[in-house]
Amino acid sequence: MVLLKVLRKTKAREKELRLLMLFRLSVWDVGGQRTIRAFWRHYFECTDGLIWVVDSADRERMKICREELHRLLKEERLAGIPVLILANKQDVPSALSPEEIKLALGLDAMASSRHWAVLPCSAKQGTGLLEGMTWLVSDIANRVFIRL
């Protein structure tokens, strides 16, 4: 509240206001193996965003991936949080495109209930990761902070 008062006073006196917002991220890498899924709920508390990594080259497991994602997003403590889907292994020629992943995961069904994005990446080449994190942090910031 104090920061908001200071910003309002500063804005009234100045023509331009520059504000640097720094974010502290706590990131948990939780595996997707069947034996680990039961423990996912232990990481939900205070979650502001979710990153779901998809193996774009593994077409056979896309149905399981869809079922688990939709099951996870039904959790009450994850209601309304933005979801970043990283379509990994885009360096593999047979990989599904982000658009194909969107369809395979049935993301249009949740279009009105939460923000989400499917972005291409390659962990091997190190591409797309910065863009994904930028989208997620920006979406969280737009939801959490008041626009002046």
Residue 117: strand, helix, or coil:
strand
Active site residue 33: yes
With beta carbons less than 8 A apart as the criterion, state whether 3 and 144 touch. no
Q: Is 32 among the annotated ligand-binding positions?
A: yes
With beta carbons less than 8 A apart as the criterion, state whether 62 and 95 touch. no
Which residue among the candidates 15, 21, 28, 33 is catalytic per the annotation? 33
State CA 65 to chain mean position distance.
16
Q: Which residue has the tokens 């933005």?
A: 82
With beta carbons less than 8 A apart as the criterion, state whether 140 and 49 touch. yes
With beta carbons less than 8 A apart as the criterion, state whether 58 and 32 touch. no
Residue type at 104 in one-letter notation = A
Q: Is 125 among the annotated ligand-binding positions?
A: no
Q: Is 15 among the annotated ligand-binding positions?
A: no
Q: How many CA atoms lie within 13 A of 53 on its CB side?
A: 15
Annotated binding residues, written as ranges, equal: 32, 88-91
Annotated binding residues for GTP, written as ranges, equal: 32, 88-91
Residue numbers annotated as active site? 33
